[in-house]
Amino acid sequence: MKNKLLLLVAILTLTTITVNAKSKVTCAGSTTVLPIAQATAEAFMDAHPD
C-alpha cells in the first residue's frame, strides 16, 4: 500500500511539473524576429484561447 501511495504522489508531481512547464514559453533572439514572433503568438492565442 505504501509503495502505491508513493507511486501516485510521484506521478502527480511529475504531471504538475509537466503542465507548468508547458504553460510558459520564452522567446529570445534578434529584434528582427520580434514582429514575426508576436504575430505568430497572437495567431496561436486566437486559435487556442484556453
Domain that holds residue 38: 1-47
Query: Does residue 40 surpass a pLDDT of 80?
Result: yes
Confidence label for 18 from pLDDT (cuts 50, 70 and 90): low
> What count of other Cβ atoms lies within 10 Å of the Cβ of residue 37?
14
| Structure confidence at residue 22 (pLDDT) | 57
Is residue 49 very low, low, confident or very high in pLDDT (cuts 50, 70, 90)?
confident
Q: How does the average pLDDT of the chain come out, rounded?
A: 75
Q: Please tell me the number of Cα atoms within 13 Å of 12 on its side-chain side.
A: 6
Domain count for the chain: 1
For residue 19, CA distances in Å to 2, 29, 36 come to 26, 25, 26
